Structure 1
Amino acid sequence: MTDDAEITVTRNDEKGRYEIHLDETIAGFTEFLPDRHGRLVFPHTEIDHAFAGRGLATILVGRALADAAARGETVVPVCPFIVKYLHKNEVDGLDVYWRPTVDESGSDAIERV
């Protein structure tokens, strides 16, 4: 794999994830699943160790969230990487539902998907 490989991000609804490709190779993914309100919960992001250190997670998450915004979807960030990304970056038009924490709700009864 060379540094000039083409980077693409695609939505794979069948697998419930966005995938990042370098040329024809899947280098990683961020998973999503709808909750009972139709919001997309993003629980996990993973980049193959062979592709680590290239900033691919940032590219993947940025493009996935931009696509969700363009589709008019509400996202629920659970994955720590996505939470961190959203605290540092604005995604135009993205509707984000932040789950209450134990401190905010006064209990540990957080809605499950």
Structure 2
Amino acid sequence: MAEVINNKEKNRYELKLDGHTAIAEYILNKQGVLFFTHTEVPKDLEGEGVASKLMESAFDDAEERGLKIAPICPFVKSYIQRHPEWKRLLAEEHRF
């Protein structure tokens, strides 16, 4: 599978595959919290693990940079519920 990139100019993580782009949009605040606001996977890529790869790479990047995460997007929150090992990255006020 292709590599996930952090497109800082557009404030989103991107995974380009087969001419399509899956995205996870975020807002990074001054306190070092990544607020994930929206994820989108093109229909042609659904069911191929693209969103999971996108989130795993984004969370790995956040952890490497010492950032915390805030799952505003319902998909991101449900992903963390299914993969509780990522709860360690949750910003204090966004723990569940």
Which category describes the TM-score, using the shorter chain as reference length? 0.7 to 0.9
Unaligned runs of 5+ in 2: none
User: Structure 2 CA distance, aligned partners of 1:42 and 1:8?
Assistant: 19
Alignment of structure 1 residues 12-91 onto 2, 5 Å:
12-22=7-17, 25-35=19-29, 37-89=31-83, 90-91=85-86
Change beyond 3 A, Cα 1:100–1:56: closer
For 1:21, give the aligned amino acid.
Answer: K
TM-score by length of 2: 0.82
User: Structure 1 CA distance, aligned partners of 2:65 and 2:30?
Assistant: 18
Q: Is the 8 A contact 1:30 1:61 kept in 2?
A: yes
Q: Which has the larger radius of gyration?
A: 1
Q: Is the 8 A contact 1:17 1:29 kept in 2?
A: yes
Unaligned runs of 5+ in 1: 1-5, 102-113
User: Structure 1 CA distance, aligned partners of 2:95 and 2:56?
Assistant: 23
Matched position secondary structure for 1:37? coil
> What's the offset of the Cα at 1:22?
1.8
> What's the offset of the Cα at 1:54?
1.1
TM-score by length of 1: 0.71
Change beyond 3 A, Cα 1:33–1:80: same
Identity of aligned residues (%): 33
CA deviation digits over 1:6-51, x for unaligned, max 9?
Answer: 421111000000001226x342100011235331100110011222
> What's the offset of the Cα at 1:62?
1.1
Aligned residues: 94
Quick check: which one's helix share is greater?
Answer: 2
Q: Which residue of 2 aligns with 1:99?
A: 94
**Which fold has the larger relative contact order, with Cα–Cα distance below 8 Å and residues 6 or more apart in sequence?**
2
User: Structure 2 CA distance, aligned partners of 1:78 and 1:72?
Assistant: 19
